[in-house]
Structure 1
Amino acid sequence: MRNNNALIILGMHRSGTSLLTGLLSQVGVKMGRRLYAPQKNVNEKGFWEHEDIVDTHDELLLSLGSQWDDLLPLNDKWWEAEAIQPFVARLDKLVRRDFSDAEVWALKDPRMCRLLPLWLPLLEAQQTRPTFICMNRNPVEVVASLQKRDGFSREKALVLWLSHSLSAELYSRGMSRVFIGFDQVVNNPVETLLKIEREANLVFPISVKEASDNINGFVSPDLRHHKADAALKQADEGLSRMANELYRLFQEMEVETSSHHQLIDRIASDFIAYQKKWNVELLEQIRYLNEERADYRIKFFRIYTSWSWLLAKPVWLIEKWWRRY
């Protein structure tokens, strides 16, 4: 693929990745054939996620006994496992199908933060030039959103934020990337897109100036459901301290070239040390629940994609519609 530029959006769930990807669509960035539909009171203007790719990511994680909200890290070199290769082949096929002729395309899925090692050789093999857009949102706001949507505890939400944020930074380190703050996207979406275009060294299919009315109209105050202070409360303790420090470092990386690799690595070491303190009973329970959920969802995927289900689905939808009346 020649002149094939990919914008890979990296960020924890509820970090504003959907908003940013939706803005990219306003300047003609290609998103693929099928996207997940908007969901009221969650993402009213759309998730902007490639349905086939996200489903493949889900199945891949399930094959590893994991899922999107898993508190445990994936095994070392998981992407080299033989069981993973069919998913690599499927993702490769989907990218070729939807993006082989695209000058600029984007892919957004928070699972990418953990799955990036699988994608790097795939993008290289297709001669795609990736730029990684690292979204940074105050973890207090992310925590509040996850508590409201998923009922997560504060501690679980912080572990997930740290895990996704640290993984995304590590795996994209040394590559072309742009750090974007959620506040920046909400307050000045036009300048945000100009920054991405400039730092990614590309030209959007539709100019930012031409699309400025649509860009500003896409961002509205009601998209922000949670507003937090600049710092986490109890920021001197455990998870709060780590999250606050990482958030602050990412803020600095939004406006300057400093990498802060040593400071980020120190936070990563502290986070690993924190996880190692979890007791054996807790780890066993998490693994057991992961296996149970994986087994259930794998069976669901098999049924959902079976010929019998596909043939019966129209009848089921008609019956569902009929029951409303």
Structure 2
Amino acid sequence: MLPSRPIIVIGMHRSGTSMLAGLLRKAGVYIGRNLGKNEEALYFRTLNRWLLAQAGGSWTHPQPIHELLEDEPSRQLAREYLKASLQGPRSLGYWGATGILPFQPAGKRLWGWKDPRSTFTLPLWLDLFPEARVIHMERHGVDIAESLAVRRARSQKRTQEHFRRRRFLYRFVSKKTDLLDTPRLASRERAFELWEEYLAEGRAQMASLGVQGLSLVYESFLQDPVREFARVAEFCGLEAGEDRIRAITGHLDPERAFAYRSSPELRAFAEARSDRLQAFGYAP
């Protein structure tokens, strides 16, 4: 038997989903035993990676998942695989020692996960959890593109240094980890294109969810975190008064909103893409 009504946080990478997941965890929502550095439940992240890979995709190339979703036999097999994992010992990777009887300890506990990949794999999760509550976080595309491009450049530098130190060994053994680090994010423009894909997908998902979905805007959240997290608490069924919410959200920095505006280069980048930004309701 599967539990019902998980809270699923979706949205583009670097859009504030980690921030939101951390706040939910502090407020008492269980988001997993083994968490990555970005508040991602490794168990669900692994499953989402597997789903995208079955369609020949990845988080930087998520569109192929639509081919899997549109092919009912493939979708049925994917559902059965997910259900088997969720009902078996593998789920202890999420529940930990409290889940010796798969999912039974959950009871009325609020639980869920955050993984940007769920933006595209969500229909499969809704097949299993039709009463799920979904929160979608948005953020200005230029800030996301810059954050992704900077992170990728740093990561690629580390990857190159590691490869050069061990290059001689690869004459004898194969490399077991990735050599090329997310080539699609090699430029700010390509990262911006990926933001467009995720935002379009996320909004489409929310349009079909009705009252089961809650949309948040990162910049609005930072400007008034008490009001915005109160909306989240009500949506999730969390018991959290104003004082509790202030304590949970007090560390948030409103200066992080629209960070690109402090850079002439990024402002120019935004101006050059004003039509594309405005298509999503954003000013350059």
Q: Same fold (TM over 0.5)?
A: yes
What amino acid maps onto 1:195 in structure 2? R
Structure 1 position 63 matched with structure 2 position 95: no
Alignment of 1:34-49 (within 5 A): 34-36=34-36, 38=37, 47-49=38-40
Structure 1 position 52 matched with structure 2 position 43: yes
CA drift of 1:113 comes to 0.8
What amino acid maps onto 2:223 in structure 1? N
Question: Which position in structure 2 is the counterpart of 1:149?
Answer: 151
CA drift of 1:112 comes to 0.6
Other structure's SS at 2:52 match: helix
Structure 1, gaps ≥5 residues long = 39-46, 250-325
Residues 99 and 105, structure 1, Cα contact 8 Å, conserved in 2: no
What amino acid maps onto 1:28 in structure 2? G
Distance 2:195 2:123 in 1: 19
Equivalent pairs counted in the alignment come to: 228
Residues 219 and 258, structure 2, Cα contact 8 Å, conserved in 1: no
TM-score scaled by length of structure 2: 0.69
Alignment of 1:27-176 (within 5 A): 27-36=27-36, 38=37, 47-70=38-61, 72-78=63-69, 80=72, 81=74, 84-85=78-79, 87-90=81-84, 92-93=86-87, 94=91, 97=103, 100-124=106-130, 129-151=131-153, 152=185, 153-175=187-209, 176=212
Structure 2, gaps ≥5 residues long = 95-101, 154-184, 262-266
Q: 1:243 to 1:121 in 2, by over 3 A?
A: same
Residues 4 and 102, structure 1, Cα contact 8 Å, conserved in 2: no
Question: Which position in structure 2 is the counterpart of 1:265?
Answer: none
Question: Which position in structure 2 is the counterpart of 1:186?
Answer: 222
Question: Which position in structure 2 is the counterpart of 1:227?
Answer: 259
Other structure's SS at 1:167 match: helix
Residues 3 and 103, structure 1, Cα contact 8 Å, conserved in 2: no
Distance 2:245 2:206 in 1: 30
Structure 1 position 215 matched with structure 2 position 249: yes
Distance 1:135 1:150 in 2: 22
What amino acid maps onto 2:28 in structure 1? G
Cα-to-partner distance string for 1:12-64 (whole Å, 9 max, x where unaligned): 0010100011111121111122211x3xxxxxxxx111111101111222222
Report sequence identity in percent: 24
Q: 1:98 to 1:35 in 2, by over 3 A?
A: farther
Other structure's SS at 1:76 match: helix
Question: Which position in structure 1 is the counterpart of 2:173?
Answer: none
Question: Which position in structure 2 is the counterpart of 1:20?
Answer: 20
TM-score scaled by length of structure 1: 0.61
Residues 206 and 215, structure 2, Cα contact 8 Å, conserved in 1: no
Q: 1:149 to 1:244 in 2, by over 3 A?
A: farther
